[in-house]
Amino acid sequence: MAQPFTILRKEKRYSGKIIDLRIDAIQYPSGTETIREVIEHPGGAVILCLFENDDILLVKQYRHPFECDVIELPAGKLDTGEEPGLCAERELREETGYGARKWEQLTSLYATPGFCNEILHIFLARDLYLHESGPAREEGESTMTLMRVPLTEALTMIDRGEIVDGKTIAGILLGIRKREIL
C-alpha cells in the first residue's frame, strides 16, 4: 500500500538510553497537516526456552510503567549493530543462566505499530544447558525470578490473565504450534 500522506519534516525531540522520540509533520492529500509522534527503539529478542519435557522458562520482574511484577519470556534490547540471534543468546545467558544448542527464529513482530518502530524477534531455544557461572543480571534485574512451567500451564496462565505481556503471549502460542509439528 502506498503511503497515504506526504512527510513534510522529521524532527528528533528526545534521545534517551532506551528510546528516542521523533515528531513527523505530515500532509494528507486533502492538504490537512498534522503530526505523528514516533518512538524509535532498536528492537529486541525474545526467547522461548523449551525443555525436553515441554516446560518453558518465564521470568517475573518488576515493570515500572505498570508498577507491578509482570510474567514474561526472557527478552532484551538489541545493542547497536547487534544481530537478533546474538542478542537472544546473550539475553538468555544474562537473565536465566541458561544456554541453548539449538536455535530457531519463530517470527519477527511489530510491538506497537501505531507509534513505535520496535521490532521483536522471537526465538525458540532447545537443547538447554546451565552455564556454570549462572545469570549475569543488570542491577535493575536483581529482583527477577525464574519460573519453570509446563507449556500447557503457560497457556492456562494466559487464560487466567496472569500472563498479559504481548510478546510472551505470541511466543507461547507460536511455541505450542511449533511443538505440535516437532
Question: How far is 6 from 8, CA to CA, in rounded Å?
Answer: 6
Helix (H, G, I), strand (E, B) or coil at 166: helix
Question: How far is 10 from 117, CA to CA, in rounded Å?
Answer: 14
CA distances from 57 to 48, 70, 76, 154, 161 (A): 7, 14, 15, 10, 18
Residue 79 DSSP symbol: P
Q: 80, 105 in Cβ contact below 8 A?
A: no
Q: Which of 132, 139, 141, 162 is catalytic?
A: 139
Residue 64 DSSP symbol: G
CA atoms within 13 A on the CB side of 48: 29
Residue in the block written with cell 501505531: 114
Q: Is 83 annotated in the active site?
A: no
Q: Just list the catalytic residues.
A: 139
